[in-house]
Every structure is written in C-alpha cells, then in structure tokens.
C-alpha cells in the first residue's frame, strides 16, 4: 500500500494522469490500476470520477495527507541517518536571482556546500520557488517576503536587501532635472504582480515621485541591460549594480532615496533541514546583513 500511496500523492500534486505517469516513470494504465487497487484496499473512492480538474473525495484528501506525511517522515529519517553515518547528502535550494548573485559572488560559499552535499540549485521567481518548497521539490528557498504563506511553510528568518535607483551616466543630468519636478520618465519597472513592484511603488509614493513606465520585467538582469542601453531608469538590487557604480558606468540617483525589499528563507514546516543547509541558511542571512551595511556606507 505504501508504494500506491506514493503514486496517489504524485497524481494529486501533478493533477493529471498523463503527466503524473510520465513523472512517476510508469504507464498511464499502470497508474490508473494502482489508484483503483488503492481504493479497493482502503474501501473508499479517492477521486470524484468524471470531473475535471482532478477532485478528491473526503477519503481522498485524508489519503493524500497521510501519504504526504509518510513521505516527509521517510525523507527526514534519511537526512538524520545520512548525517549520523556522515554520508554525502542530496539537497536542493531555490533562490531569486539577486540572492544567487550574492551566494555565488565568491566561490567560497557554494564550494563549502558542495563539499558537504550534492547540491541542486534552482533560480526562479518567488511564487514558483515557494510552490516547489510546498510540494517537496525544494528543501529550502530564499525569496522576496510574501504577505501570506501557506500553512505548510515556515519562515526561518527575514532580512533586508538594498535596492538603488540608477541610470546610465549619459542620462544623469536629464533624469535629475525630472526628479526635481517629482517625475521619473522612462522608468523600467518590475512586473506589476511582483512583491518587488509593490515595495518600490510604496517608496516612490512616500517620496512623492510619479513614474512613466516604459518597460516591465521580472528579471533584474534584463532591466539592467536596458539601463545600460540608455533606455531609462531602474531601481535594482545594489549588488547587481555595485561594480558599475564603482567604475562610473552607472550613476546612483537621489542618494536620499532608498528602497529595501525583505528577503525570507522558507522551508516546509514538517521537513528537517540537513546540517549543510542549516549552515548555508545562516550564511545567506549574514551576507544580506553585510550587503546592507556596504550599501549604506556607499551613500
């Protein structure tokens, strides 16, 4: 029954027999047969048949919760036994791009982690990463702090990440003149649905600055490329632009203006973090604290 429960959990999380069978590396008829046999063993229907999308019966929800709990406990046991035996662990971390840039700014951080574990790193947006943590696909994620989290997730810490307003040096005079009138033309903005966009919009409102967006993007690297092409002004992670500020390619606008977005570390509430991840978690938190101090000194 344990193996069939695992297949059922996989089906529920994917939400589709065809895709679930592919991910579980079995045939679709084989998956259907496993679910039918599980229903017979439990003596109750688990799915509302003939309904799209996939819908669980009350018994199905109970079976899913039990199966997921069983899989989490087994994974936690493997972590503890591997640490007891000093075996190399397989761990997975998700992070937004600015945190990846911070962690990989020097080889020391990732090299130390790789000496202790087999590491899989995923760089993506916060919503995708949190969904992957919740589904057990990632052990730990560093994301932009959200207003709300699933009850299955636990936030380990929150830290501020400095963002700065920059433009190409060639556009400095024109942009400063616009800022004196409380406007920011040719603004390159984060996607409107993002948490970063909301944090920046709030800061702009406090400083009574109105913007005229010309581009929206989910990628700070794309936004930076547009700034370098003299397409406008952007508010970007300090680490991403620090070297370009130092060499004079970019100019930091209105030193009194600053934005800090909050970064959070999140894991599943019922998952035990392996020791290498505990150390990496602390390391990233310290790096963000040091980066914030560096940005303040730069002013």
Beta-carbon-side half-sphere exposure of residue 278 (alpha carbons within 13 Å): 7
Hey, which of 13-22, 87-96, 200-209 has the most confident mean pLDDT? 200-209
Question: Per-residue pLDDT for 83 more than 70?
Answer: no
Percentage above 90 pLDDT, the chain? 31
Question: Per-residue pLDDT for 204 more than 80?
Answer: yes
Question: Per-residue pLDDT for 133 more than 90?
Answer: yes
Mean pLDDT for the stretch of residues 21-39: 85
The pLDDT score that the predictor gives to residue 108 is 62
In sequence order, what are the residues at sequence separation of 6 or more whose Cβ sits closer than 8 angstroms to the Cβ of residue 153?
A: 130, 133, 134, 266, 267, 268, 269
The pLDDT score that the predictor gives to residue 14 is 82
Please answer whether residues 85 and 274 qualify as being in contact, where contact means their C-beta atoms are separated by less than 8 angstroms. no
Q: What is the pLDDT of residues 209-246, one digit of tens each?
A: 899 899 999 889 999 999 999 999 999 999 999 999 99
Q: How far apart are CA 98 and CA 237, in angstroms?
A: 7
DSSP summary character for residue 90: E
Domains and CATH numbers, the chain: 2-82 (1.10.10.10), 85-160+262-286 (3.40.190.10), 161-261 (3.40.190.10)
Average pLDDT, the chain: 85
Q: How far apart are CA 170 and CA 173, in angstroms?
A: 8
Q: What is the pLDDT of residues 85-120, one digit of tens each?
A: 555 677 889 999 889 888 887 656 566 666 666 788
Angle at 298 (CA atoms; ends 196, 258), nearest 5 degrees: 30
Question: Per-residue pLDDT for 41 more than 90?
Answer: no
The pLDDT score that the predictor gives to residue 38 is 85
Beta-carbon-side half-sphere exposure of residue 76 (alpha carbons within 13 Å): 12
pTM: 0.68
Please answer whether residues 91 and 274 qualify as being in contact, where contact means their C-beta atoms are separated by less than 8 angstroms. yes
Q: What is the pLDDT of residues 151-166, one digit of tens each?
A: 889 999 999 999 999 9
The pLDDT score that the predictor gives to residue 5 is 81
Higher per-residue confidence, 157 vs 18: 157
In sequence order, what are the residues at sequence separation of 6 or more whose Cβ sits closer than 8 angstroms to the Cβ of residue 167?
A: 175, 227, 232, 233, 234, 250, 251, 253
Helices within the chain (DSSP H only): 2-14, 17-24, 28-42, 58-84, 97-103, 107-116, 126-134, 172-180, 195-206, 220-228, 238-246, 275-298
pLDDT-based confidence at residue 198 (cuts at 50, 70, 90): confident
46: nearest Cα among 14, 21, 55: 55
Coil/strand/helix, residue 210: strand
Q: How far apart are CA 240 and CA 140, in angstroms?
A: 23
Provide the token pair at 230: 């003299």
Hey, which of 26-30, 168-172, 193-197 has the most confident mean pLDDT? 168-172
């Amino acid at each position: 029954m344990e193996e069939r429960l695992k297949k059922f959990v996989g089906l529920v999380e994917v939400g589709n027999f065809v895709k679930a069978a592919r991910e579980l590396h079995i045939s679709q008829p084989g998956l259907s047969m496993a679910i039918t046999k599980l229903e017979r063993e439990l003596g109750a229907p688990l799915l509302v048949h003939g309904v799209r999308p996939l819908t669980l019966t009350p018994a199905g929800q109970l079976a899913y919760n039990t199966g997921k709990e069983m899989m989490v406990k087994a994974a936690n046991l493997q972590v503890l036994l591997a640490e007891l035996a000093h075996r190399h662990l397989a761990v997975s971390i998700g992070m937004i791009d600015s945190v990846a840039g911070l962690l990989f700014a020097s080889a020391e951080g990732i090299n130390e982690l790789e000496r202790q574990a087999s590491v899989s790193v995923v760089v993506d947006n916060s919503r995708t990463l949190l969904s992957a943590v919740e589904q057990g696909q990632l052990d730990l994620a560093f994301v932009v702090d959200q207003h709300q989290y699933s009850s299955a997730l636990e936030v380990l810490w929150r830290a501020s990440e400095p963002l700065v307003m920059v433009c190409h040096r060639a556009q400095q005079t024109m942009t400063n003149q616009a800022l004196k009138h409380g406007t920011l033309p040719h603004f390159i903005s984060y996607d409107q649905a993002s948490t970063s966009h909301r944090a920046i919009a709030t800061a702009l409102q406090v400083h009574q600055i109105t913007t005229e967006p010309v581009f929206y993007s989910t990628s700070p690297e794309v936004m930076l490329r547009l700034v370098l092409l003299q397409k406008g002004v952007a508010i970007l992670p300090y680490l991403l632009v620090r070297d370009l500020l130092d060499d004079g390619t970019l100019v930091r606008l209105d030193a009194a203006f600053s934005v800090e977005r909050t970064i959070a570390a999140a894991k599943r509430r019922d998952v035990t973090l392996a020791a290498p991840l505990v150390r990496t978690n602390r390391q990233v938190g310290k790096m963000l604290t040091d980066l914030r101090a560096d940005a303040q000194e730069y002013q």
